[in-house]
Chains A and B, each alone.
Chain A
Amino acid sequence: MAQRIALGLLTLFVISLLIAFGVELLPGDLAQEILGQGATPEGLRVLRLQLGLDTPPHIRYLDWLGGMVTGDMGLSLANKRPIAELIGPRLSNTLFLGGFAAMIAIPIALTLGILAALYRNSLYDRGVNIFTLTSISFPEFFIAYILILFFAIKLGWFPGISNISSELSFLDKLYRTLLPAASLTLVVVAHMMRMTRASIINLLSSPYIEMAHLKGIKPLRIITRHALPNALAPIINVIAINLAYLVVGVVIVEVVFVYPGLGQLLVDSVSKRDVPVVQACSMIFASVYIFLNLSADVISIVTNPRLLYPR
């Protein structure tokens, strides 16, 4: 366990190095991006001095690393605001949307998957497969626009953009984020559903399942009681990957619904070369991935007695 965590931290460190190097490779710097067309040599010189861009990149990286280790994310280069303050509300928005989508998507995916395994090769199975595979094949923005067209413009049931702010009540927030959560759900359900179905069906030819059949147990009970617990490990892994996707892969959905999440902040900061913010966002995204994978491992172990009590 300790080894896994140490490896996770090492991965984070390597990622931070790669990001710093990568952003440094992009053409232009923050001063040029801020001044844009209006840049003059004199303006650039003064701005670079004000922004502290005159120090070499490796010194800036070490400064940043030192701060990060002590829990200080530092200040945004561009607007001098503390990065923690900048990221805080965005992160909670992204987690809110991701969590909401997960709440809808995971139960649906598991139920559909289990039922598909139960009635495999039936009309129902085919129908669910076609529907979920179709929805995953469309790009997210397309699904998002289709949902907006029908539910916001034609029917007028939901707002066309998810403009949320702190003054809204929890229920209002849920209402306003339902469309983006639904788009995300449509995108992630197929993967989880297919994996549930496949890993259960995989087990159905095992001798112990055959034994259960011969004992006369009902198919639904065989699947939920005998097959599912053994199939959980791969399902949990797929769920973890999709959860991570819900947090880090929602940029496009955020843009279409004008949802003030972390992805938009990252895109903005990359285009303006605001390195500390890019670093901080990337660290958060990387941590989410590592944390979720770690949890997936742990949960698979917990659900598998053979791994829980190794000989």
Chain B
Amino acid sequence: MKKTQINNKPLILDRKVSRRNFLRGSAALGIAGSTAGLLTMTGNAFAAGGKRGGRLRAGIAHGSTTDSLDPATYENNFTIQLNYGIQNHLGEVDAATGAMVPELAESWEATNGAQTWIFNLRQGVEFHNGKTMDADDVIASFQHHMGESASPARSLLDQVSSMRKDGNNRVIFELSGGNADFNFVASDYHIAIKPSKDGKIDPTDGIGTGGYVLKEFEPGVRFLAERHANFFKSDRAWFDEIEMISIIDPAARQNALATGEVDTIDRIDLKTAHLLARQSGVNLEEVTGTKHYTFPMRTDTAPFDDNNVRLALKYALKRDELVEKVLYGHGTVGNDHPIAPSNQYHASTLPQREYDPDKARFYAEKAGGVKVQLSAADAAFPGAVDAAVLYQEHATAAGIEIEVVREPNDGYWSNVWMNKPWGACYWGGRPTEDWMFTTAYQGGASWNDTFWKNDRFDELLLLGRAETNRDTRRAIYYEMQQIVSDDGGAVVPMFANYVFATTDKVGHSAMAGNWDMDGAKYFERWWFV
């Protein structure tokens, strides 16, 4: 079931394979790594191609009555997955290789030092209302996130200085500066391509080009859609109908799967994951992605403005113990920078920072003693308070005093995060180095939760963004990861796996790690065996 239409010139990735998709619970399945960035699949569930039919029912941990169909408001797993069920984007992350491949675009090309991007659109793609997709729809869909818009994609598109069509099937973007990763940006999940009328889209009509046509959407409760007969991909969207139910309570979610009320659930309670895996007919799935947990320090506030304090704290943490006790082993240790092992330019040669009480004590004494408060709530990430208490224990051995302040979950993001000098935080991660660094580490960025500013880092960021030579880029991003690790304000103790489960009736290929649940595209990618 390999896609044949890939025409992906600028970014063919030569990543390692075994880095990400490892699956548990289904004994018959095996992944054999191979060369050239492709996975070779064996086993039944990986049979080439799916089978049509059935209604897939998913129980999802998110979903709120305040959800809406407007792409500018997508922010939780429920709306993101709904989005990928009914709508498509210019490009998508290929599950097997992690590369960005064209979806509604047929191909793309960057010229002029990656400052001009040409997207050739796929022809004859039909929206659910019968309209054929053209360049006007793409432009209107982008404009929905630009100008006076509350869309989170707005800041990503600030770099677009102009957008024009060249014929009905080509859109040309001019950027204010070179960006070799603009194809990733243009395929952001918010920017769903929707039909336009007089240069505007109707954001809440629920119409897209996707594999399923929206039938019912009750915010915070349920979403139901049926197969789009004229879907442009012939090897996707296998189900007749898809249904998503919001099940916030973890025990209820696991019950629903165990009693066969749903076919798949996300966000397995890690404490009881091993018990669920024992249940017959249930497959536990695990994918390492870019999701990571951090303890961001405000580097503009004493005592964290002193790098000795930051280093002392970075050496005073047993990361493997956090992975073992907070993630129950479902994750990997972090190295104080946000680039995941699955990212293209992950600095694998950078030495792993280990727990070293002597070094921690040394830096703490250099700083004249460290006595700090760590604000945490489980809203930051599940187990954040436990993690903070463990941290306190580890640091005590190095003579560092951490006082854990338990904050309320309600209002955590508005009152604690980026307000208190030191707190806990999670990041879903970003598909590219540039995107992640620009979002949270560039000096002055609006989500720079460490208020960190490093001139050399900011300079490298701009260089790396416009650089199209892969080796030069790799060198630049390696140096940047080192700078963040040694000087940055965030302690990054661990990367958390996406852990979810399906019944054994569900079949799938290699799973993507860019989002929870097979890149949030399981409606399109999975089938009933």
Contacts and interface: CB of A to CB of B under 8 A. Distances in A.
Contacts of A271: 64, 410
B247 A41 contact: no
Nearest to A269: B65
A68 interface: no
A28 interface: yes
Nearest to A36: B413
Interface residues on B, range: 35 or more
Contacts of A146: none
B264 to A, nearest CB: 14
Interface SS of chain B: helix, strand, loop or mixed? loop
B259 A274 contact: no
Given A32-B414, A255-B252, A256-B249, A160 B258 contact: yes
A145 interface: yes
Interface stretch (B16-24, B144-152, B266-274, B322-330): B144-152
A234 to B, nearest CB: 37
B252 A161 contact: yes
B344 interface: no
Contacts of A152: 255, 259
The 8 A-B residue pairs with the shortest CB-CB distance in the complex, in nearest-first order: A78-B66, A160-B259, A160-B255, A47-B150, A40-B446, A32-B414, A28-B414, A79-B68
A164 B447 CA distance: 41
Contacts of A89: 218
B410 A27 contact: yes
Query: A interface, how many residues as a size bin?
Result: 35 or more
Given A78-B65, A256-B249, 4 more contacts: A36-B413, A38-B152, A163-B245, A277-B65
Contact of B219 (A79, A257, A258): A79
A111 interface: no
Given A50-B150, A79-B67, A165-B222, A38 B75 contact: yes
A35 B65 contact: no
Contacts of A160: 252, 255-256, 258-259, 261
A28 B64 contact: no
A43 B64 contact: no
A293 to B, nearest CB: 29
A41 B151 CA distance: 12
A189 to B, nearest CB: 24
Interface in B430-469: 446-447
Given A36-B413, A79-B66, A153 B221 contact: no
Interface stretch (A96-104, A201-209, A260-268, A300-308): A260-268
Contact of A258 (B65, B150, B151, B245): B245
Interface string A22-43: 0000111000111111111111
A145 B413 contact: no
A39 B248 contact: no
Instruction: Identify which of B65, B66, B219, B259 gathers the most chain A CB atoms within 10 Å of its CB.
Output: B65
Interface of B: 59, 64-68, 73, 75, 148-152, 154-155, 204, 218-222, 245-249, 251-252, 255-256, 258-259, 261, 410-411, 413-415, 417, 425-426, 446-447
Given A28-B414, A47-B150, A274 B251 contact: no
Contacts of A145: 251
Most A-side CB within 10 Å, residue of B59, B73, B148, B413: B413
Interface string A77-92: 0111100001001000
Contact of A28 (B68, B149, B221, B411): B411
B413 A46 contact: no
B351 to A, nearest CB: 31
B504 to A, nearest CB: 17
A156 interface: yes
A39 B249 contact: no
A194 interface: no
A82 B186 CA distance: 34
B252 to A, nearest CB: 5
Contact of B252 (A36, A153, A257, A265): A257
